[in-house]
Amino acid sequence: MALAVRDPFTSLIKQIDADFDLLTRRSTRVNNRAGAFVPPADVHRDGEDVVITLELPGIDIENGVDVEVSERKLTVSGRRDAGAEDGAVFRELRGGEFRREFRLPEGVTGDNVEADYDRGLLRVRVRGVVRKPVEPAKIKVRGSEGSAVN
């Protein structure tokens, strides 16, 4: 008789991973329709800027993609044609309309955003949104007679 060892953390880790994936998709508002084209994205800091890189190969960038800033949201939307369906035996390339939304801090306008496309990657830079934390300041407390208290 074989001894089965059950790791109690395996199901917990799988649930946390699924919850995190769901949270990430909600926070970036990924279009999650079955079979829909959802371009993957990376978001990273570069000094005081945030750079969002989306993988958009095979897209007519001038006619197929819109980048907009409105109401504290950065929206990248567009369309990718997957090619002709005639005679397809097996199909993994996804096409269709897509939309990705990213929350922005208050005060960010279109003037803070620039976008570049090169070799299938759309890079959207949001300038000046990462602020350095304010250093705590030590405040001297004065006593009733106006002299500083240690």
Phi-psi bin for 20: left (phi > 0), alpha (psi -120 to 50), beta? alpha
Per-residue DSSP letter, 53:
E
Helix or strand holding residue 27 (H, E): helix 8-28
Residue partners of 35: CB distance under 8 A and separation at least 6: 94
Phi-psi bin for 128: left (phi > 0), alpha (psi -120 to 50), beta? left
Give me the average pLDDT of each 10-residue run along the chain (150 residues). 59 63 52 66 92 92 92 92 72 83 90 95 93 84 71
pLDDT at 121: 96
Strands 49-55 and 41-46: antiparallel
Assess if CATH 3.40.50.300 describes domain 37-82+94-132: no
pLDDT at 7: 58
pLDDT at 31: 44
Phi-psi bin for 26: left (phi > 0), alpha (psi -120 to 50), beta? alpha
Whole-structure pTM value: 0.64
DSSP result, 100-136: EEEE--TT--GGGEEEEEETTEEEEEETT--PPPPPP
